[in-house]
Structure 1
């Protein structure tokens, strides 16, 4: 654990140094319309299908956790990162490609795919009634994308202790973990990723005892035994399309869908953060989760980024130059 702690400090120090190289408004002179074009593109897709918002947010997260926030997740190819098992359900590639093609017309070779992805994630949250923030930009695109490197992505089947280690290895602390998992307030998952909790969780074939009994009946109705494992279910049963603290209230009340989410309420290192967010009533206690989420996103989106002369600015996001 001491080695992991020292490694986390080194990564965090490098993250601070790199974040200083990124800056809000990086394209204000070289491509003034960059952020506006990304925003309008995201809004166009969002207006047709609001579930694209969590897709874009997850796409950015998966990019940053492997090789840093360098757009490596966007590369197509059988051996590329996006074809790794943890990434097979990712969505939103067409949104990034669309924005990039528009930007290449007016500012060829200027705006990186990694920055487009970071901006799109911000806009997705904002359009879902969540917070907005100034995205530090100036990332460059990576030139490596290999599926085996996605093995360090957090899995919904892993315990909180493993998630804490994986986040710490990227310079993110326990508070960041809970805050970023809060993105599930607008997320969805498939029955196959949690149905084991409903029917055969214990040795006697019972359901996960941490699930609220009324909610268990709802989940069993949505995901019947031997039913369609690909059916999608909201991760926030009360306000699945709104970016709010309802997700944390669900964890407090035993209404978490994914086991890894629900376990945040049981883990001593994360329970207090969940409780603070669950009790955060807008209008009375301010916007603590909103504020923390913007900070955590800026921190996460600075992981191991490439700047200056590192990497490249891709012409097409799905392939190297």
Structure 2
């Protein structure tokens, strides 16, 4: 048994190493000065668009951060999630609550005026999410650009490639490894839940409806007082559109409060709580909860890796004239 276990661990480590090498090679194909000559004000125009939208709607940073996750985990960071039509990624139920599309489209329209056919929608998504984090109080991160837009968007590719809120630790580790992301990346990128909100149905599995129509807690990994708050915000009669802040303490601020919430068992999703069930991830959670700067530094490195997953470069893909459709 021990021999088989050792062999499995060796195979897993080798697989993760290969995936990480792949991500590194993709990152190398991108460039930190990609638009220096072709559209020198591209990043500024994107940032101003995100800043303006966030001023009008404080929920925008959380939406843009979720958007980049859902885009990059399916077909890679290629704006395939932006494509509209029957059976595209947007049509899958897991993506129907994803927001921020209008911000990306606004930035694209502006860039097409000043730099037509130059800046990809994929780069806009990555840069907008980067800017959203800083606007919400997080660190400034330099990310390379040069991504090209994909031409394939299928609803059937969504579910096998995104994290479900009920995932176990093993399921999340396997999916992250498939994307070339490590256990450390998993813990760091989960910190995105320090901003944003979620619909009641995404964590309803933690409760059970009694015969009299009331909810009762069945998940013992969540703080009971926090559970009571959630049941008040999300009663059985709640409309499908009702949402709850991911972070009950500093919902609009990108900080390390998520990790403090984890230690207090005050997080929304079972997939968050499982980070406390593993000795290695629990130690990471404790470190980030005690040192925000440590989280910020590590966030930068993990975010660069995330936004490089499956990125299309050179002759792979295209530069769309509109983010919602491929070029004719």
Fold match (TM-score > 0.5): yes
The answer for the alignment partner of 1:67 in structure 2 is 75
8 Å contact kept, 1:4–1:169? no
Of 116, 138, 142 in structure 1, the residue corresponding to residue 146 of structure 2 is 138
Is residue 2:217 matched to residue 1:235?
no
* Backbone CA RMSD of aligned residues: 1.7
Q: CA deviation at 1:206?
A: 4.3
8 Å contact kept, 1:198–1:219? no
Counterpart of 2:198 in 1: which secondary structure?
strand
User: In structure 1, what is the Cα distance between the partners aligned to 2:15 and 2:96?
Assistant: 30
Runs of 4+ aligned structure 1 residues displaced above 4 Å come to 1-5
Of 305, 308, 316 in structure 2, the residue corresponding to residue 310 of structure 1 is 316
Of 23, 45, 52 in structure 1, the residue corresponding to residue 31 of structure 2 is 23
The TM-score, its normalising length taken from structure 2, stands at 0.91
User: In structure 2, what is the Cα distance between the partners aligned to 1:61 and 1:267?
Assistant: 24
8 Å contact kept, 1:190–1:229? yes
8 Å contact kept, 2:22–2:180? no
User: In structure 2, what is the Cα distance between the partners aligned to 1:206 and 1:314?
Assistant: 48
Of 112, 115, 118 in structure 1, the residue corresponding to residue 123 of structure 2 is 115
> What do residues 91-113 of structure 1 show as CA deviations (whole Å, max 9, x unaligned)?
01111111111111111111011
The answer for the alignment partner of 1:246 in structure 2 is 257
Is residue 2:57 matched to residue 1:49?
yes
Q: Which runs of 5+ in 2 are unaligned?
A: 1-7, 211-215
Q: CA deviation at 1:262?
A: 1.4
Task: Work out the number of aligned pairs and report it.
Answer: 314
Q: CA deviation at 1:6?
A: 3.8
Counterpart of 2:158 in 1: which secondary structure?
helix
User: In structure 2, what is the Cα distance between the partners aligned to 1:70 and 1:246?
Assistant: 31
Q: CA deviation at 1:5?
A: 4.5
Is residue 2:273 matched to residue 1:262?
yes
User: In structure 2, what is the Cα distance between the partners aligned to 1:231 and 1:36?
Assistant: 34
More deviation, 122-131/259-268: 259-268
8 Å contact kept, 1:53–1:125? yes
User: In structure 2, what is the Cα distance between the partners aligned to 1:138 and 1:279?
Assistant: 36
Of 83, 105, 112 in structure 2, the residue corresponding to residue 104 of structure 1 is 112
User: In structure 2, what is the Cα distance between the partners aligned to 1:87 and 1:278?
Assistant: 30
More deviation, 118-127/299-308: 299-308
User: In structure 1, what is the Cα distance between the partners aligned to 2:162 and 2:110?
Assistant: 31
Q: CA deviation at 1:116?
A: 0.6
Q: CA deviation at 1:217?
A: 1.6
> What do residues 188-234 of structure 1 show as CA deviations (whole Å, max 9, x unaligned)?
11111112313359xxx643122212212211111123433431101
User: In structure 1, what is the Cα distance between the partners aligned to 2:86 and 2:295?
Assistant: 39
8 Å contact kept, 2:217–2:227? no
The answer for the alignment partner of 1:293 in structure 2 is 299
Counterpart of 1:314 in 2: which secondary structure?
coil
> What do residues 50-72 of structure 1 show as CA deviations (whole Å, max 9, x unaligned)?
11111111111111111111111
Of 200, 204, 207 in structure 2, the residue corresponding to residue 195 of structure 1 is 204
8 Å contact kept, 1:109–1:315? yes
Is residue 2:282 matched to residue 1:271?
yes
8 Å contact kept, 1:199–1:225? no
> Are residues 143 and 252 of structure 1, via their aligned partners in 2, closer, same or farther at CA, if it must alter by over 3 Å?
same
